[in-house]
Amino acid sequence: MTTVAWKTIEHNWPVYAADGEQVGKVFLVVGDENEDFFDGLAITYHGGPFVFHNYEDRPHYVPADQVASIDPGRVTLSISAEEAAHLPLHDPPESATIEPESASRLERAESWFEHETRQDRTE
């Protein structure tokens, strides 16, 4: 396989542990494209529609130093499947909750609820 740049990682790419077991799918790439800084990945263990991630399969965080390789359509970690099963929940930064001025009352209430309950609805 040919290793590719972190910026090419896409949502739902399969994520494999060092022992070859699939441990999840990419939910979100964490980094700053402008600074070319890769911080890590938020992965879900079971995939599926985004709405269920908040309640059944919250995204878990994989730091960049635990990503062994990035190949077209696939990410491989440097940790075992057992270690991947105990990754911490992905906790997006506070700046990710900025509301646009055009946000409705319902959208603002949902954002407030997500913040108070620490539910991540990042798509």
pLDDT (tens digit, 9 = 90+) per residue, 29-70? 998 888 888 999 999 886 555 544 555 678 899 999 999 999
Selected residue with higher pLDDT from 120 and 85? 85
Instruction: Say what the pLDDT of residue 4 is.
Output: 80
Note the helical H segments in the chain. Answer: 50-53, 81-84, 105-117
- What is the rounded average pLDDT of the residues 15-26? 95
pLDDT band at 101 (very low <50, low <70, confident <90, very high): confident
CATH architecture of 6-91: Roll (2.30)
Instruction: Say what the pLDDT of residue 73 is.
Output: 95
